[in-house]
Structure 1
Amino acid sequence: MARTNPAPVEDESGIEWLLGYNLKRAYMIVRDDFRKQVEQSVLSPRAFSVLTLITETPRLTQSEVARRLGIERSGLVAIIDELEKRSLAKRTAVPGDRRSQALLATDEGCRLHARTMARVHDHEKVLLSALSQTEQEQFLALLRKFRAAHEEDET
């Protein structure tokens, strides 16, 4: 749970000023809180990401989902297998391309996604509460800008 007036970081060693270290520590906080708010038995963070993408953008191919989420295709297959096993998603044929499969969330998958998304919004609201509304918007905008600049480099 975030504090409204967080104490300054005590350790002023060089590691505190490294981008990777701070991103990793921030990610661990977000991931751990996600796991508390959304039990692993409901959806893992990766499964939630896949379900979100196929709920909001139906009929993407597995390759497109993997590319958009930055997940190896082999890892994605296991996530989709699990979503299918739980009747939350299904693979469908892509007209004109027998080698590709498109992904769709089932009705149950859409319902679970909506319930989980509400919990995720609540969890993020608490995590970001140490920042003002303007700082929250700036923080997310800067993260997206950083990602966009470096994801372009990867293509």
Structure 2
Amino acid sequence: MSNQDDGAEDRSNGEIKDTVLGSLIGYQLKRAYMQIQPHAQAALAEDSLRVVSFSCLSIIVDNPGIAQSELATALQMERSNLVIVIDELEERDLINRNKVPTDRRRYALTATLRGRHLRDRAAERVSRVEAEIVDRLNEDDRARLMSVLEKVRDRLAS
């Protein structure tokens, strides 16, 4: 019995079809992310950061005094998972966690000078890595891609 008889096609050329997956935006976004993420992680590892810790630090730098609950919402993370990352950043003296005087249950997060410098250095590395990966896109294509992704993100957030 040949492969043709059991419905299997000859793939001797090594090509794998994905007629359904290839047409799905979410799948294409995932594939693009899977190309970028390992390189971004390697760039961040130079400063002993992970994508999640860099993301938290970056939001805190840009939003001094942000509450942990607001940070969790911004990053779409469970607050319980976020606490571990906050503890790590605080232990490394990258952020400060201070009780909010008007609400003792809340903490305000601010980046230290060391944290701001580390975020800026790490952001530059990740930007360079991304630029190398998407070097086939010209500036207009990059701007258009970012605009489309923002529209998708904003639509899903509303």
TM-score by length of 2: 0.85
Larger Rg: 2
| Counterpart-to-counterpart distance in 1, 2:51 and 2:62 | 16
Q: Which structure has more RCO (C-alpha within 8 Å, separation ≥ 6)?
A: 1
| Counterpart-to-counterpart distance in 1, 2:136 and 2:43 | 18
Does 1:72 find its partner at 2:56? no
| Counterpart-to-counterpart distance in 2, 1:92 and 1:101 | 5
- Cα deviation for residue 10 of structure 1 reads 6.9
1:6 corresponds to: none
2:97 corresponds to: 91
Does 1:82 find its partner at 2:88? yes
2:22 corresponds to: 16
**1:30-81 Cα shifts (integer Å, max 9, x gaps):** 2111012221762101110110011111000000000011111011101001
Q: Which amino acid aligns with 1:102?
A: A
List structure 1 runs of 4+ shifted beyond 3 angstroms: 9-12
1:4 corresponds to: none
Kept in 1, the 8 Å contact 2:97–2:109? The answer is: yes
| Counterpart-to-counterpart distance in 2, 1:43 and 1:136 | 26
Across the aligned residues of Structure 1 and Structure 2, the Cα RMSD in angstroms comes to 1.6
More helix by share: 1
| Counterpart-to-counterpart distance in 2, 1:23 and 1:12 | 15
Secondary structure, aligned partner of 1:129: coil
1:122 to 121, 128, 133: 128
Q: Which amino acid aligns with 1:109?
A: G
Secondary structure, aligned partner of 1:130: coil
Secondary structure, aligned partner of 1:98: strand
For 1:3-152, list aligned pairs within 5 A. Answer: 11-39=17-45, 42-152=48-158
* Structure 1: unaligned runs, 5 residues or longer: 1-8
**1:2-55 Cα shifts (integer Å, max 9, x gaps):** xxxxxxx97352211112221211111121110122217621011101100111
Count of aligned pairs between the two proteins:
144
TM-score by length of 1: 0.86
* Structure 2: unaligned runs, 5 residues or longer: 1-14
**What fraction of aligned residue pairs are identical, expressed as a percent?**
36
| Counterpart-to-counterpart distance in 2, 1:65 and 1:12 | 37
